[in-house]
Amino acid sequence: MAADTAVTRTLDCLGLYCPEPLFQTREAIDAIEVGEVLEVFSDDPAAEEDLSRFAKRAGHEVVSVENDDGQLRILLRRLT
């Protein structure tokens, strides 16, 4: 399913650690339109939980989370 999802913007947070991926994700998702998808790459061990919690709190959808040996690819759809 995630492979078919059209990504609007990609955010590279590799090498950045909490809270920086969360801050950058917030700014990036605010910069796209409702319905569009933000792709976030991160190797921060806390990123999956932090970004999923942020999406739920902010009313966005976590489309998918892929973990490739510690490198995360998270797709978030802006809903509000």
Q: Of 37, 31, 30, 51, whose CA–CA distance to 4 is shortest?
A: 37
Is 13 annotated as catalytic? no
* Host H or E run for residue 58: helix 47-58
Q: How many whole angstroms separate alpha carbon 20 and alpha carbon 15?
A: 10
At residue 17, φ and ψ (nearest 5 deg) are: -125, 160
Question: 16, 18, 32, 58: which one is catalytic?
Answer: 18
Catalytic residues: 18
